[in-house]
A and B are shown apart, each in its own frame.
Chain A
Amino acid sequence: MTDRSTTSLVAAAADGDESAWAGLVHRYTPLVYSVIRSYGLSRADAADINQTVWLRLVEHVGRVRSPQALATWLATTTRRECYRLSRLGRRTQPFDPHDDAYHGLSRAADATAPDEELLRAERQQALREGFAQLPPRCQELLSLLTADPPASYREIAERLGVPVGSIGPTQARCLHRLRNCPALAPFLAASATQANGGERDGAVAAGR
């Protein structure tokens, strides 16, 4: 499933292919879920928003132009529905406080502004997509390097059957590919625009 491009999944789903739809769900529910979580809503509200967003996408999927457009549409729609339900103020009774999942969802609607949360969620989605486009070798190495707890270079070398000394350079090459993958391109363009537009960053850019 991971080797099908989002573009082909979107086209197939719009054409009625249920397994393609399941592929989109698999790929994008973490994005929707992470935006919802940032709002600290009840679990029932969270579930209703998730369902609303996917029902809306069923109607919208035929009009999606690019994977980036899909991620942005999902994040924006989710965020708007979170706002709507938070304004409705329904079910003011807190949910079962012993429900672990509720604790997970109510994780403070605190310090981080929704804008930042949204950007963070979109970036994380772009990283996951970029990662999915990397060669299997890179995916394996980066998974091991980012695992919790992280694997040591020696363990990684053994797992992959490569010399310890090659891991650093391979990591650098894989990250280079990640930075240059299509999924991250819109963000590169965005920070370039902002760097040129912002006064302080503009000065930095001019000094290069």
Chain B
Amino acid sequence: MEPWPPDDDHALTAELGAALWAVGPVPEEFLAAARAAFTWRTVDTELALAELTFDSACDAEPAGLTRSAGSARTLSFRGGPVVLEIEVTDAGIVGQLSPPHGGRVSAQTASGSYDEAVVDTVGFFSLGPPPPGPVRLRAQTDEYVVATAWVSLR
């Protein structure tokens, strides 16, 4: 592997030029969306963030586990002791929250909430089909408040 940055002044000048000029302008809608993301900043210290730990769309199935067949996409999120698992089909989202507690769950897009549902006492909930683009679920129970990482569900 060549050492980098190059020792040669001409080579480095050329690379700098490419870096400064060749990327091309970022489209304004990309800049606007990136700036607007900041409105989702939360100062809620109660809120736990559940990171995406599994997505059947791009991760290998855990060994020994047989997922439900068909076209359903399954995703798992984990934040501390809380695990949120969902199955996404054209019909919508069904999910389970554990440890199970009753409460409410809302499905959010970058522009606001698109659906909201009750979480039953064993942690099950169902939501309507997600729109394209990043979505996150925010669940509130008596014991905890958790929000998943943003991810495109379809």
Residues of B within 8 A of A172 (CB): 9
Give the size of the chain A interface in residues (CB under 8 angstroms). 63
**Within B91-118, which residues are at the interface with A (CB < 8 Å)?**
110
Most chain B beta carbons < 10 A, residue from A30, A57, A147: A30
Check: A171 CB closer than 8 A to any chain B CB.
yes
**Within A64-110, which residues are at the interface with B (CB < 8 Å)?**
81, 83-85, 87-88, 90-91, 101, 104
**Within A26-63, which residues are at the interface with B (CB < 8 Å)?**
26, 29-30, 32-34, 44, 46-52, 54-59
* Distance between A146 CB and nearest chain B CB, rounded to angstroms: 3
Pairwise interchain contact A25-B34, C-beta atoms closer than 8 A: yes
A85 to B57, CA, bound (A): 9
**Given A48-B152, A52-B150, A55-B150, A16–B31 Cβ distance below 8 Å?**
no
A122 to B15, CA, bound (A): 12
A191 to B5, CA, bound (A): 9
Pairwise interchain contact A84-B35, C-beta atoms closer than 8 A: no
A-B contact number at CB 8 A: 148
Pairwise interchain contact A84-B151, C-beta atoms closer than 8 A: yes
- Interface bits A143-175 vs B (CB < 8 Å: 1, else 0): 101111000000000000000000000011001
Pairwise interchain contact B13-A194, C-beta atoms closer than 8 A: no
Pairwise interchain contact A16-B43, C-beta atoms closer than 8 A: yes
Check: B18 CB closer than 8 A to any chain A CB.
yes
Pairwise interchain contact B154-A87, C-beta atoms closer than 8 A: no
Pairwise interchain contact A52-B152, C-beta atoms closer than 8 A: yes
Residues of B within 8 A of A83 (CB): 58
Check: B63 CB closer than 8 A to any chain A CB.
no
Check: A124 CB closer than 8 A to any chain B CB.
yes
**Given A34-B23, A142-B16, A187-B5, A51–B133 Cβ distance below 8 Å?**
yes
* Distance between B145 CB and nearest chain A CB, rounded to angstroms: 14
Check: A11 CB closer than 8 A to any chain B CB.
no
Check: B37 CB closer than 8 A to any chain A CB.
yes
**Given A50-B34, A57-B37, A124-B18, A175–B13 Cβ distance below 8 Å?**
yes
A39 to B128, CA, bound (A): 30
Residues of A within 8 A of B122 (CB): none
Cβ 8 A contact of A51, one of B3, B33, B38, B49: B33
**Within B31-54, which residues are at the interface with A (CB < 8 Å)?**
31, 33-35, 37-38, 40-41, 43, 49
Cβ 8 A contact of B134, one of A48, A131, A147, A178: A48
Residues of A within 8 A of B133 (CB): 48, 51-52
Residues of B within 8 A of A91 (CB): 132
Given A127-B19, A187-B4, 7 other A-B contacts at CB below 8 A? A25-B34, A52-B152, A55-B136, A90-B132, A124-B18, A131-B16, A178-B5
A-B contact pairs, 17 of them (CB 8 A): A22-B38, A33-B30, A52-B134, A54-B33, A85-B152, A91-B132, A104-B24, A123-B5, A124-B15, A128-B19, A131-B19, A143-B20, A148-B17, A178-B12, A179-B5, A191-B1, A194-B1
The 9 lowest CB-CB distance pairs between A and B, nearest first, are: A146-B17, A124-B19, A54-B37, A127-B19, A55-B150, A54-B34, A52-B134, A25-B34, A21-B38
